[in-house]
């Protein structure tokens, strides 16, 4: 079933499977299904840097404020990077790249709720492992599993409003990502 899916996707993109290659592509741009933009930068044949960024903003008009209806806004900016040991595997004309290593980053949070403003900075570190299946020289599909530890910063608030970020906690998080990448060269 999986092979049929890969063949279908490869046919749609008009690409052919890779013949075993010495090194994976040097630079790639990708997106995961949670809308994080990722880069894949090969530092050498066995080491890869993967920076990532994301921005999310949610807004809604809510009643009950000082002036009747007020605008409530939540914004998150996420930036991080991973440094991975990489191993290309090739069998039967197909190429699979597996990797593992540490990840870390920062998340900046801003909330404007019922006239109050709150800002908070969280830090996170963790481990990740993943793999990419190359559909051709320029396209890959991949998956990644992460375990991270988040260290929440103290929220600074300008009014007596309970912000969704007003809690200082440290927690563990697991994530699974699906990635699509394009390698221009």
The confidence score (pLDDT) of residue 108 equals 92
> Domain holding 124: CATH number?
2.40.160
The answer to whether residue 104 scores a pLDDT higher than 70 is yes
57-66, 85-94, 136-145, 166-175: which has the minimum mean pLDDT? 57-66
The answer to whether residue 173 scores a pLDDT higher than 70 is yes
Give residue 97's domain range: 25-182
Number of domains in the chain: 1
The confidence score (pLDDT) of residue 67 equals 60
Compute how many other C-beta atoms are within 10 angstroms of the C-beta atom of residue 142: 23
* Residues β-bridged to residue 3: none
The answer for residues whose C-beta is within 8 angstroms of residue 120's C-beta and 6 or more apart is 108, 109, 152, 153, 154, 155, 156, 163, 165, 166
SS3 content of the chain, % helix, strand, coil (to 5): 5, 65, 25
- Residue 6 located in a structural domain: no
DSSP 21: -
Say if pTM beats, i.e. exceeds, 0.85: no
- Residue 19 located in a structural domain: no
The answer for residues whose C-beta is within 8 angstroms of residue 67's C-beta and 6 or more apart is none
Residue range 33-59: mean pLDDT, rounded: 89
- Residue 135 located in a structural domain: yes
């Amino acid at each position: 079933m999986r092979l049929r899916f890969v063949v279908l996707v490869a046919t749609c993109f008009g690409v052919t499977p890779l013949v075993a290659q010495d090194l994976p592509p040097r630079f790639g741009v990708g997106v995961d299904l949670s809308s994080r933009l990722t880069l894949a930068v090969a530092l050498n044949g066995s080491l890869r840097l993967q920076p990532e960024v994301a921005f999310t903003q949610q807004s809604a008009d809510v009643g009950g404020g000082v002036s009747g209806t007020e605008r409530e806004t939540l914004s998150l900016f996420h930036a991080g990077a991973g440094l991975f040991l990489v191993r290309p595997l090739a069998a039967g004309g197909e190429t699979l790249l597996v990797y593992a290593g540490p990840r870390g980053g920062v998340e900046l949070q801003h909330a404007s709720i019922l006239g109050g403003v709150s800002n908070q900075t969280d830090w996170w570190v963790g481990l990740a492992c993943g793999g990419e299946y190359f559909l051709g020289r320029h396209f890959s599909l991949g998956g990644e599993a992460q375990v991270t530890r988040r260290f929440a910063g103290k929220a600074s608030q300008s009014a007596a409003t309970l912000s969704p970020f007003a809690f200082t906690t440290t927690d563990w998080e697991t994530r699974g990502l699906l990635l699509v990448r394009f390698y221009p060269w």
